[in-house]
Amino acid sequence: RRNIAVMTSGGDAPGMNANVRAIVRTAIFKGCRAFGIYEGYSGLVKGGPEYIREMNWHTVRDWLAEGGTNIGTARCMEFKEKWGRLRACKNMIDAGIDALIVCGGDGSLTGADRFRGEWPELISELLHKQEITQDQYDRYKHLNICGTVGSIDNDMATTDATIGAYSSLARICEAVDYINATANSHQRAFVVEVMGRHCGWLALMAGIATAADWIFIPEKPSSRSEWSSHMCEIVAKHRARGKRTTIVIVAEGAIDASLNPITPDDVKDVLVDKLGLDTRVTTLGHVQRGGPAVAYDRELATLQGVAAVEAILDGTPETPSPMIAIAENKIVRRPLMEAVKLTKSVAQAIADKDFAKAISLRDTEFTE
Ligand code: ATP
């Protein structure tokens, strides 16, 4: 019988609630106790009944479709410090927790793995300082953790989809559909900025799903003279064929060949100056994160929640921390740190302007 806690951390994503619901109910179904850590690592460092609460079957009723995360999320600098993780360790032991499932992005999962790796040292220090008893030390000397990936960006290596990405994509497409109606009426051009941090997945998929005229993604930078002439050539061709609207989607992390950001206003200026189009900029902002989770995210979060509890129950002190992924439509376990390392290498390759390497790393086939 384990006491399993679940936490959401980093940026919120639709489907996180469904993931927490599945984890809580699967844990209870398997005869374990379930706890929710509120406000991410910050709640773990603060501890106590306000932040660490036992969850029962009914606590998570109606959470399946809800957007955001009802147990809260945060960025927590204290957890990056050793003293913060020592407090977190003590708070977990005080609450009787011996396993932790974290739903978050690569930063949150790195934090979880670091916590697990350091756990023997932290718990020994607590024993040495007589903050815990020998019995507690013996009972809690191993911490099991598991990661599920909650992020609208779909930027984690070794998984085909992150929880929340398809909901965000659906919201972007809906917004572009609305924009298209007004653009059509006035024959306007719209430059739409979408989220995704350093990853162009949302912009790319939204471009395909809305038949945008042009997209900008971090993975395919080009010089200003190149992109402006090529984009204008395509847009002019579409207009000449009778298209009344122009939609250009810009990923928030879009960059040019010199690694300078490409902003929606840069794109607007080119469309106005070179083509004389009546052009407006729309930054979708946080609507992309809000609203209910789409069916795919509800399923993914639920199946991965079940798999996360199973992985915890199968875990031994020797097995590396798992991350629950989806690959070729199958829910699978991946070694968490390898997935995080690969994700970071992609970001580094982009920062080093080595785009071919970034793309080939992102396409890396994961082998067991
Ligand atoms: P998103 O993809 O939405 O940005 P993320 O999980 O990558 O999510 P971060 O802000 O990078 O978001 O990390 C969330 C929290 O995880 C941090 O505020 C911090 O508390 C913890 N964390 C991140 N990296 C580490 C680390 N190296 N060591 C300990 N804790 C960390």
- Active-site hit among 12, 98, 153, 297: 153
| Binding-site residue set for ATP | 11, 75-76, 105-108
| Binding-site residue set for substrate | 151-153, 188, 195-197, 252, 280, 286-289
Ligand 1, atom 3: nearest CA belongs to which residue? Answer: 11
β-strand pairing of 322-327 with 330-335: antiparallel
Atom of ligand 1 nearest to the CA of 152: 3
Quote the Cα angle for 356-196-165, to 5°: 110
Ligand 1, atom 20: nearest CA belongs to which residue? Answer: 76
- Characterize 18-52 residue by residue with b for buried, 16 or more Cβ atoms within 10 angstroms of its Cβ, and e for exposed: bbbbbbbbbbbebebbbbbbbbbbbbbbbbeeebb
Say what the pTM is.
0.94
pLDDT 10s per residue in the chain (368 long)?
Answer: 799 999 999 999 999 999 999 999 999 999 999 999 999 999 999 999 999 999 999 999 999 999 999 999 999 999 999 999 999 999 999 999 999 999 999 899 999 999 999 999 999 999 999 999 999 999 999 999 999 999 999 999 899 999 999 999 999 999 999 999 999 999 999 999 999 998 999 999 999 999 999 999 998 888 999 999 999 999 999 999 999 999 999 999 999 988 899 999 999 999 999 999 999 999 999 999 999 999 999 999 999 999 999 999 999 988 899 999 999 999 999 999 888 888 888 888 877 878 788 777 776 766 55
Distance CA 147, CA 130 (A): 31
75 lines ligand 1 (CB under 6 A): yes
In the reported structure, the alpha carbon of residue 358 is separated from the centroid of ligand 1 by a whole-number distance in angstroms of 22
3-state secondary structure of 246: strand
164 lines ligand 1 (CB under 6 A): no
Distance CA 136, CA 129 (A): 13
Active site residue 113: no
Ligand 1, atom 25: nearest CA belongs to which residue? Answer: 111
β-strand pairing of 330-335 with 52-55: unpaired
344 lines ligand 1 (CB under 6 A): no
80 lines ligand 1 (CB under 6 A): yes
